[in-house]
Chains A and B, each alone.
Chain A
Amino acid sequence: MPKKIENVGCPYCGVCCDDLVVTVSDDGRKVLEVENACAIGNEIFQHASSEGRISLPRLRQPDGTYKDISYDEAVDYAARVLIKAKKPLIFGFGSTNCEGMAAAAKVAEKAGAVLDNCASICHGSSFLAIFDNGYPSCTLGETKNRADVIVYWGSNPAHAHPRHMSRYSIFPRGFFTGKGHKGRKIIVIDPRYTDTARVADIYVQVKQGQDYDLFNAFRTVIRGEDIPDEVAGVKKEQILQVAEILKKARFGTIFYGMGLCHSDGRNHNVDIAISMTRDLNDFTKWTIMAMRGHYNIAGPGVVWAWTTGYPYCIDMSKKDRAYMNPGETSSVDLAMRDEVDAFFNVGTDAGAHFPIEAVKHLKKHPWITIDPNICMASEISDLHIPVGIVGVEVPGIVYRMDNVPIQYRQVLNPPDGVISDEELFERIHQRISEIEAEEGITQTSAAAAGTQTSFVGE
């Protein structure tokens, strides 16, 4: 008898839809149906019970092929790589649970590694802006129940967060927003006329890379000062029109995405967006929110800020202190500058997402991928360790894009023998302690003493 599981969280995007209904076969091995999810979320559940899942770690052989090894051997290999490296980099965590992230932070601290998450190539610039300028934000529930003006700036939820508009921003009827879509004004600001822009009441076409200038113009007119006839490709009349709508809102939320975080200026674009949000609070209530990508990419920011003091790009190579400075301690910069000598790719695909030059630099050293799936990173790794898929096979806490924690469920059993990220990192931590005790080495002298293991790819 197939089993219907309700209120399941979706392990795809930062919207973290928690209203999925998943039907699984009676042996708990196969997903039969997924209700309420978008096409991408649906696919993640279907993929879990697809053919060809990896169920054992695979070690690269001298002839270039992979050979299956046991988890014990994989854990030992990973521990020795971490001990030997002068500055290992542990990166990823877009798609795992907070329990796994906390365990990885323990390993990074013990190994003197740099610990970084996908925010480094995504919303990391938001963190920098938030450090500098605060974060007048809210929860998605507040937006749903109160907001009558919504701004999407440099983000395209129609494609990246498929149910964001229907669950929280444009269409839902909330406590003070009973008219739903009809009671809301939607403003989309983007260089491209995106599918999100199609549902907007006002579309503002900003010149690419000049968002900062446009924010500056908005702030200037909001303070009652004059601006030139055209700023960043936008006419003064339209800037004045939008500024009036912003000032007259009852409650507004600015949702922004990679258009701000990854065009020229990065953190400064977000910074001035925050300044504008603050300015608007002189008139009415305005809030701002980062459109975080993966379902738990807000997680490492929360968990590591709590355990190490920093949300990402955390250099723990000095053991007694953590240090963070993106530009130096950020993964791509470390790779491009040849500043690390071992790489752990965890729950992400650096092979696909990093610049090819960065990948080439990282490939000079041991590269270990920890991920349930075969991906570009797993195919160029020296070691690939499969783990259970969080939200499908492994339960745990995840943080939604508005930093609200949600308990995710297990709906399937993982393939026989496959362990979770948390268990894997706990075992690596344990193994590092054992090796250090056996060989009588202190952590900082490990590399100098030359813990003797030769690694494929060296």
Chain B
Amino acid sequence: MKTVTLTLNKQPELYLECNDITPDAFAGKTPAEIAAIEIWEGKQKIPLGDFFTVEGSAGATPAETKIVVAGDCTRVKRIGQQMTDGEIVIESDVDMYIGGWMKGGTIHVKGNADSFCGIGMEGGELIIDGDAGHHVGAAPRGEWRGMKGGVIRIGGNVGNDTATFINGGTIVIGGDADIHISTHGEGGTVIVKGNAKGRVGGQMVKGEIYVFGTIENPLPGFKKIETVERDVEGVQAQFDHFIGDLGERHPKSKGQPVYAHLYVKA
């Protein structure tokens, strides 16, 4: 695997939108060609080389390309959007849409990420060491088919609207989650290792949620049916098992209704 290192050498006045910082866009290009890739600041198109120094070289294919982004990227959006393969490492905090609509490969953010990271995700792995903002792994606005696959791992806390309309894939949150987890969910798994504030699994049809801590305001539409022993993320523990959302429609399988499952550590 070959590595391209981008270093942000000056801060934009507004924000940079860099949807072409992906192994897909970089593969097979020389550093000069990479520096000529266009990024946006507002309505202006600017060559990537105006803001980033480009070192190293890209592989022949996305799978053979690793991108390291250095410098303070708090005002850089959309890195790794729609990437299909390869690897991106972001050394600092980063702004919105990291790994949005990604289909494969790996993104590792060593700081915090702002909102909308991993929205509309279909595959691959997105790792954020720090906190993430709102709408982690959620569906884009108006889209009722949300995250389809892949894994998102957040080390710290997340904001609200995690995994809205989730259909598949896994989201693991190391810290606490604000309101709305897996709202309208139709599949997939969300694991919250800390506490959840409320509205966990509202309007959820199918899928699973695990909460290791407490839920401050549990919804009335979830009913406890049993206490079970589960091995989740390498932790063996007793969980209270709830089914729901009993206020929502539920399909039938072999004559039996299919519910969403909420497990709260007993």
A: residues with CB less than 8 A from B are 85-87, 112, 128, 131-132, 210, 212-213, 215-220, 222-223, 225-228, 231, 264-265, 268, 271-272, 275, 279, 317-319, 324-328, 337-341, 443-445, 447-448
Contact = CB atoms under 8 A, between A and B. Distances in A.
B15 A325 contact: no
Given A225-B221, A225-B246, A328-B116, 18 more contacts: A86-B42, A87-B14, A132-B141, A219-B247, A220-B220, A220-B246, A220-B247, A225-B223, A226-B223, A231-B220, A268-B161, A268-B199, A268-B202, A272-B203, A317-B42, A325-B140, A337-B15, A447-B43
B220 A132 contact: no
B142 to A, nearest CB: 3
B105 to A, nearest CB: 23
Interface stretch (B59-67, B179-187, B227-235): B179-187
Contacts of B142: 128, 131-132
A339 B14 contact: yes
A268 B142 CA distance: 12
A320 to B, nearest CB: 11
B42 A85 contact: yes
B42 A216 contact: no
A99 B86 CA distance: 50
A226 B220 CA distance: 9
Contacts of A328: 96, 115-116
Contacts of B13: 86, 341
A79 B142 CA distance: 34
A213 B220 contact: yes
Of B45, B183, B184, B220, the most chain A CB neighbours within 10 A belong to B220
B179 A132 contact: no
Interface in B214-260: 217, 219-221, 223, 245-248
Tell me the dominant secondary structure on chain A's binding face: loop
Nearest to B133: A327
Given A210-B217, A275-B203, A339-B14, A327 B44 contact: no
B144 interface: yes
A171 to B, nearest CB: 33
B135 interface: yes
A18 B45 CA distance: 49
A86 B221 contact: no
Interface pairs A-B: 3 shortest CB-CB: A219-B247, A86-B42, A87-B42
Contacts of B44: 86, 444-445, 447-448
Contact of B43 (A216, A223, A319, A327): A319
Contact of A112 (B43, B140, B217, B223): B43
Contacts of B198: 213
Interface in B137-193: 140-142, 144, 160-161, 165, 179-180, 183-184
B219 A216 contact: yes
A318 B42 CA distance: 8
Tell me the dominant secondary structure on chain B's binding face: loop
A131 B183 CA distance: 15
6 contacts: A128-B141, A213-B198, A216-B220, A217-B220, A225-B247, A448-B46
B204 to A, nearest CB: 11
A43 B14 CA distance: 42
Contact of B247 (A85, A216, A317): A216
Contacts of A231: 220
Interface string B27-65: 000000000000011111110000000000000000000
A128 B199 CA distance: 18
Contact of A327 (B14, B116, B184, B203): B116
B141 A216 contact: no
A139 B94 CA distance: 46
B103 interface: no
Contacts of B220: 213, 216-217, 220, 227-228, 231
A213 B217 contact: yes
A157 B183 CA distance: 30
B134 interface: yes
A132 B184 contact: yes
Contacts of A219: 221, 247-248
Interface string B82-117: 000000000000001000000000000000000110
Nearest to B201: A216
A406 B189 CA distance: 49
